[in-house]
Chains A and B, each alone.
With several copies, the nearest count.
Chain A
């Protein structure tokens, strides 16, 4: 059985106090708790501070292009469905340049887990407005305050009927670990948005901010995470500042389970050759 140590690699280069440490920690713990071996984990990540996740999380990494971790991750899973596959990245990466892939990954519903480190800022490029930057916040590209309404990732996920939606906070690693565990276990696309403070460039959405504003749905016994419209209302009312399991549809069938002819054997284990009969069958179609 793997331990946390097995999921550790080089020392992360994040700023001390960066929320991404917590996310890394929770991902590692979730894998350990579920008995997953590091060689069976693959992380595809985009570009950003958060994008360095694939370097810092043990397991195979594909540190890909800005905004494109989801296409990579989906194909990794199809190529070898024995792997536990994460896509990981930032709010700019996932909700800016990568928005189209996000919505389409939800409809396609391949069994991967998408973790967004949502710090409401472009960290790695040193502090520009991101798609989730709040109206009025001053950043290097909005020196007089941002004017565009922020992206509402959880509401979009609900609208597109994503089968598993959770939101976590780097400051609560225990809850985050459990959410990621559930996400991994969900059979289909799972989305975990994490409030992961950027201590260097975002002086508004800080640990303290979240500690004093977050509503924890996991602690609300009356909350039913299986009613999509109810979830929408609740999230909207809390102005998105909620954590917990927001929505789950355990019945929603994954792409792999519905695609006609999806192979039993992982693609990576298929024989590359075609049998004589296989060739003959194909050639017949050309005659």
Chain B
């Protein structure tokens, strides 16, 4: 019996790989497993290798896993490409109707031909080869074919019962064929118990961000399509209008971000979502939000750069632009949620921060986090708050009288002056990107300039927030794995594995990189003599940020990955063992 199973289907793009994976993943999720799925795909529509990896386990998993037990291969490329990750004794099912698979090397992997297409044809349509493959998989993982009925019903129900039945038929035939002809199995572990009060949800980072935005009070999304961020748009288009919100597909990202600024100026929580190229186009507007002290939330679902880069691959390389982008200097907050739950919560929270500090908040996720689906116990909905920051009231304005309200009063102690909202009588001001006086009129004298700069700088001077640095593992450990954002899950597994191997290591992780959580980070590093910063980029942007903000030159080593694939557990573990040069118990 296994604690977890690794399953994968691969073939050409446009061949239905996605829907095969979806059905298997959702079925397993609905059975009660913790599922994590990752799609490997390319920036073209048809052709090109794609695969869909599923890891199902009896405890929560936050990574798609390095290894595969069962591989469904619709072509030889799939065999070749994924062979290296097969477990010893694993099984590769290939569609023997269309080709005869060959082993790339003599690894102990079972190559089993199943006439998937032929069986599908027998059921009435060769397209159902995918369902046959699912049946075969169910046989190997020892599931009951009936467990798939609800998913198949959901998926094909609107095409009529006949289609549902044909698909279930194909599934059952695949199941039967495999059991009749082979005797190999990787039984799935028993379904885990669900704790009291726990839900069981199958979510992606992108849907979690969308949900977080809605829960956080966002009522306008303006965005321009771009992989891997477009799914946020889809989610929001489906749900926001039901809650009184509006979605605008902008003509470009510059329009999108300026729309978000316009709505925020008008008192509506609004955001834009994008990826690298779009984010770069937003740099000028980022400065406007900073200078005019207008709240703004930008979600950047990072992808592999630079430029168009690898649009369907993951990376964590926009950190620098998020922190340093735009000419001149503004106040900003950069959050890097480390789990899908944090994608939800920190997106919601981004609106509180944006309104409280009247500045842009950037939420950095990435393709891996955004597009991977995973089972979680629940969303932290109860933790969502709405803190609107300083808003001047009608009464206060009335008491002040005409022309007496100073939106940008530089004297406020904490640098944050109450906002008025268009429509409020006596609340008139001009929000602007020029340097300005209290009511938002351009002025250029030295005193105004320095007092307004100082005002804005005070806002984040003593920034405190629950986001920051988390520490997992032994707090006295002399060694540390350090990361930010989406790598938290795999780093946690790496820490556990290193600990099991007797290496005392802690895991320090940033869910906010700016303002840099200096005190917390120093505290976390107190016991640490050597740190390994794991980042998905080529220059070590987090490492450099730490050097700049806190020092630790000579203490930190880097483990960098930038080939577009998410980082694997074993990559981290082996880098750690090389770096930490500790005696390993074996």
Taking Cβ atoms with an 8 Å cutoff, the residues of A that contact B are: 9-10, 13-16, 37-40, 42, 44, 47, 49, 52, 54-55, 58-68, 70-76, 78-80, 82-83, 96-97, 99-101, 104, 122-126, 128-129, 131, 140-143, 200, 259-263, 265, 267-268, 270-274, 278-279, 281-283, 286-287
Q: Which residues of A contact B434 (CB under 8 A)?
A: 63
The answer to the question of B562 belonging to the interface, with a C-beta cut-off of 8 Å to chain A, is no
Name B234-253 residues within 8 Å CB distance of A: 234, 237-239, 241-246, 248-253
A71 CB contact (under 8 Å) in B214, B219, B259, B292: B259
B426 CB contact (under 8 Å) in A39, A140, A267: A39
Q: Which residues of B contact A40 (CB under 8 A)?
A: 422-423
B277 CB contact (under 8 Å) in A55, A66, A143: A66
A79 touching B270, Cβ below 8 Å: yes
Complex interface: stretch among B62-70, B194-202, B461-469: B194-202
B428 CB contact (under 8 Å) in A60, A259, A261, A263: A60
CA distance A60 to B202 in the complex (A): 45
Residue of A nearest to B432 (CB): A63
A263 touching B265, Cβ below 8 Å: no
CA distance A2 to B348 in the complex (A): 40
Q: Which residues of A contact B260 (CB under 8 A)?
A: 75
Whether A58 touches B237, Cβ cut-off 8 Å, given contacts A78-B248, A100-B251, is: no
Whether A200 touches B252, Cβ cut-off 8 Å, given contacts A65-B433, A76-B265, is: no
Complex interface: stretch among B52-60, B112-120, B180-188, B220-228: B220-228
A79 touching B263, Cβ below 8 Å: yes
CA distance A44 to B30 in the complex (A): 49
A64 touching B45, Cβ below 8 Å: no
Whether A67 touches B252, Cβ cut-off 8 Å, given contacts A75-B222, A272-B269, is: yes
User: Min CB distance, A19 to chain B, in Å?
Assistant: 13
User: Min CB distance, B452 to chain A, in Å?
Assistant: 15
The answer to the question of B83 belonging to the interface, with a C-beta cut-off of 8 Å to chain A, is no
Whether A61 touches B440, Cβ cut-off 8 Å, given contacts A80-B422, A124-B45, A283-B199, is: yes
Name B248-284 residues within 8 Å CB distance of A: 248-256, 258-263, 265-270, 277, 284
B234 CB contact (under 8 Å) in A100, A141, A279: A141
30 intermolecular pairs with C-beta atoms under 8 Å apart:
A9-B428, A47-B308, A61-B428, A61-B429, A61-B440, A62-B261, A62-B262, A62-B265, A67-B252, A68-B254, A74-B248, A78-B220, A78-B246, A78-B248, A100-B252, A128-B230, A128-B249, A131-B251, A140-B230, A140-B234, A141-B234, A143-B238, A200-B14, A261-B242, A267-B220, A268-B267, A268-B423, A270-B219, A272-B216, A286-B203
The answer to the question of B92 belonging to the interface, with a C-beta cut-off of 8 Å to chain A, is no
B45 touching A15, Cβ below 8 Å: yes
User: Min CB distance, B192 to chain A, in Å?
Assistant: 16
The answer to the question of B162 belonging to the interface, with a C-beta cut-off of 8 Å to chain A, is no
A268 CB contact (under 8 Å) in B225, B233, B266: B266
Q: Which residues of A contact B430 (CB under 8 A)?
A: 54-55, 60-63
Q: Which residues of B contact A79 (CB under 8 A)?
A: 219-220, 262-263, 266-268, 270
User: Min CB distance, A239 to chain B, in Å?
Assistant: 22
Interface mask (B419-463 → A, CB under 8 Å = 1, otherwise 0)? 001111111111111100000111000000000000000000000
Whether A60 touches B422, Cβ cut-off 8 Å, given contacts A44-B262, A261-B241, is: yes
CA distance A76 to B265 in the complex (A): 7
User: Min CB distance, B27 to chain A, in Å?
Assistant: 13
A97 touching B252, Cβ below 8 Å: yes
Using a Cβ cutoff of 8 Å, how many contacts connect chains A and B? 251
B244 touching A76, Cβ below 8 Å: no
Residue of B nearest to A58 (CB): B428
The answer to the question of B211 belonging to the interface, with a C-beta cut-off of 8 Å to chain A, is yes
Residue of B nearest to A42 (CB): B422
Q: Which residues of A contact B107 (CB under 8 A)?
A: none
| Residue with the highest number of chain B CB atoms closer than 10 Å, among A67, A75, A270 | A75
Residue of B nearest to A131 (CB): B251
Q: Which residues of A contact B155 (CB under 8 A)?
A: none
CA distance A54 to B432 in the complex (A): 9
Q: Which residues of B contact A286 (CB under 8 A)?
A: 201-203, 207
Whether A74 touches B251, Cβ cut-off 8 Å, given contacts A268-B423, A270-B243, is: no
B233 touching A141, Cβ below 8 Å: yes
Q: Which residues of B contact A261 (CB under 8 A)?
A: 241-242
The answer to the question of B215 belonging to the interface, with a C-beta cut-off of 8 Å to chain A, is yes
CA distance A287 to B201 in the complex (A): 5
Q: Which residues of A contact B219 (CB under 8 A)?
A: 79, 267, 270, 272
User: Min CB distance, B65 to chain A, in Å?
Assistant: 22
Q: Which residues of A contact B379 (CB under 8 A)?
A: 283
B251 CB contact (under 8 Å) in A49, A52, A65, A104: A104
User: Min CB distance, A30 to chain B, in Å?
Assistant: 18
User: Min CB distance, B195 to chain A, in Å?
Assistant: 16
B243 CB contact (under 8 Å) in A99, A274, A283: A274
12 further interface pairs, Cβ-Cβ under 8 Å (given A71-B255, A143-B237): A15-B46, A58-B428, A65-B307, A72-B258, A74-B259, A122-B225, A124-B43, A126-B45, A126-B230, A143-B238, A267-B268, A283-B201
CA distance A13 to B307 in the complex (A): 21
A38 touching B428, Cβ below 8 Å: yes
Q: Which residues of B contact A273 (CB under 8 A)?
A: 217, 386
B262 touching A71, Cβ below 8 Å: yes
Residue of B nearest to A107 (CB): B251
